[in-house]
Structure 1
């Protein structure tokens, strides 16, 4: 569930800027100019917030409940930045007021920079939200948004004083935001991989049913993580030029790092067919706040397909004597698709507090709230629910649980999408 602390910080910053801007407008502003310039400033602050979130700094994960939620806010902020920028563009006066010195208040280069920034912002947003574009093509084009950011900075820093006073109270806020945003942008594009990645060597590539398990051994030190967290995996070598996020399926304390990847597209298919032991991998992380230890004693873990991986790590890490009562519902198309099913059965028998419930759709068995209501020993609202799997499944079950009176703070999902 999204923690709202980070959202409140962003909204608070925007409200603070708006109040300052409206309280101390330049003397030469009419109402229209004041409002539309304010909207342009809000669009820039939203862009800055989006760039800061792309740094993936750990401090922000607690504010939003994980990197997955940070990227949700990152996308939403980008959308609202584009909408607000469009309103600013169509609403702001396009000509200087009569009697104003056109040389001292030249519209060049501010206007061309603003128009280019807006055009690239809208195009970039379209590309970012287009699921049909392959990740390998999407990722480098998304970096063009950094150019947009510099164009927008150039736009307001060269704007004529009749429209924007750089050293007014609200102008100083935007200049400070620009300074922070530029540092965050440079760090995101040029510094993050080298600063935080750990080197690993590929020990094994195990082909499973419609999935691949990649086993890594550390070259230097082991990644320190909690069960259910994920990391970005970047394979070194020609043709492996972008990192991908995957949940860690091994347990903390193991001397190897395991990732279980469903074969979904070109990259994961290439992993299955071409990846060989001995290769080098950079791993960056861990990320995520999908933490079952902070919930109540009665828990439902609902895994759909490859959504099993965070729960697999948790089960592997559990020790006998755990006082939680856990029902692990594992939904798959058919039994042969249920990877690690035998291992899960062994863990359930060993632990004693885990009830494994396999559900196979080809047998007519689906994860449904009405069936939970009938078969669970306690009322639905007495459990905490942790879900990871296909979006339609998670969305549908979440809606049905709410209808049954389960509060939103008892429903925990992993929004494992970064586009």
Structure 2
């Protein structure tokens, strides 16, 4: 769940800029100039937040409620960055203010730099929001946003004083934000991958029904993680260029790292057909806050749809005999053949008195729905805390229906596993 701590931090920075900008307005400012520069500064601060969140630092995961939520904020901030930048561009006075040296302005052309940044920003936003463009084609062009950020800093640092007073309160805030953003940008481009990388070799590639299990052996230290977390998997070698996020299916105390990947597209199909034991893999992480052990509630309902099983598989494999949570686990699949690891789940439930498994097969007319939950759960829906992972329509439908039944939003936990 998205945490207000992070949102409040974003709002606080924006409010501070707005107040400083409006309280200390230069006397020579027109209303139009004040309004336009306000939008420009707000756009830059939102872009800075996007850059900072791209560092994937743990402190921001804690503030926003997980990397998945950070990327949601990153995407929304990027969208409003472009919108505010467009309005800023069309509302800013186009003529040079009185007293500005035209020769100096042509040497450091703030307007032209700003126009180039805006065009690239709008193109980048279109590419980012166009779901028809594949992840592999989107990933590298998206890196151009780093160059755009540098252009934006160059734009306002070279702007005439009437538009940007460097030593005003609002100007100092923007300069400090720019310094923080540049540090974050350098770290993201040159430090993040090196710091978080763990090296593995492929020990086994196991074909399952419409899925593939990849078992990795650590080369050095084992990746430390919590059940329910995910990591970015980058297979080394030709034509394995981009990393992909997958939930870790193994337990934290295992000496191997296991990922179960549903065959959904070209990359996962290539994993199934071409990946061989002995290859090298770099894993970066862990990330996520989909943790069922930290909640105060001992009565929990877990709902998995298809490959959404994997975080719960890690949780079940990690549970010890002293864990006294009452867990009702609904596992929805098309049929028993597609219900991967169903035998292992049933064996765990047999050994543990506090775990109940509910297989739901759509071919037999059983679905992950609230009316089904009412029939199977021994107590009212409001007595439980819910953890849901699966296809987006299923997750959104269950959340909507649970709220209608009186279940509080804070009692519903989902993994928003999207990074575009």
Classify the TM-score, shorter chain: over 0.9
Kindly provide the CA deviation profile for residues 382-404 of structure 1, in whole angstroms up to 9, marking residues without a partner as x.
10000000111000110011011
Kindly provide the CA deviation profile for residues 53-105 of structure 1, in whole angstroms up to 9, marking residues without a partner as x.
000011111101111111111101101111111111121111235x4445388
Match of 1:103 in 2: 102
- Separation (CA, whole Å) in 2 of partners of 1:343 and 1:175: 56
- 1:276 aligns to what SS in structure 2? coil
Match of 1:284 in 2: 284
Match of 1:302 in 2: 303
- Separation (CA, whole Å) in 2 of partners of 1:157 and 1:357: 61
- 1:387 aligns to what SS in structure 2? strand
CA contact (8 A) 1:113 1:154 kept: yes
1:243-262 to structure 2, matched below 5 A, reads 243-262=243-262
- 2:102 aligns to what SS in structure 1? coil
CA contact (8 A) 2:302 2:329 kept: yes
1:326-405 to structure 2, matched below 5 A, reads 326-405=327-406
CA contact (8 A) 1:104 1:160 kept: no
- 1:106 aligns to what SS in structure 2? helix
Match of 1:135 in 2: 135
- Separation (CA, whole Å) in 2 of partners of 1:2 and 1:83: 23
- 1:239 aligns to what SS in structure 2? coil
CA contact (8 A) 1:105 1:161 kept: no
Q: For the structure 1 residues 191 and 101, does the alpha-carbon distance in structure 2 shift closer, same or farther, using more than 3 Å as the test?
A: closer
Kindly provide the CA deviation profile for residues 164-219 of structure 1, in whole angstroms up to 9, marking residues without a partner as x.
11221111111111111111111112221112201111000001011000000111
1:81-230 to structure 2, matched below 5 A, reads 81-97=81-97, 99-103=98-102, 106=105, 109-230=109-230
**Gaps in structure 2 of 5+ consecutive residues:** none
**Gaps in structure 1 of 5+ consecutive residues:** none
- The Cα shift of 1:321 comes to 3.7
What TM-score comes out, normalization by structure 1 length?
Answer: 0.97
Kindly provide the CA deviation profile for residues 261-307 of structure 1, in whole angstroms up to 9, marking residues without a partner as x.
01111111111111111111111111111010122011110000000
- Separation (CA, whole Å) in 1 of partners of 2:72 and 2:268: 23
- Separation (CA, whole Å) in 1 of partners of 2:375 and 2:220: 51
The alignment's C-alpha RMSD in Å is 1.2
Q: How many residues end up aligned between the 2 structures?
A: 418
What TM-score comes out, normalization by structure 2 length?
Answer: 0.97
- Separation (CA, whole Å) in 1 of partners of 2:100 and 2:87: 27
Match of 2:235 in 1: 235
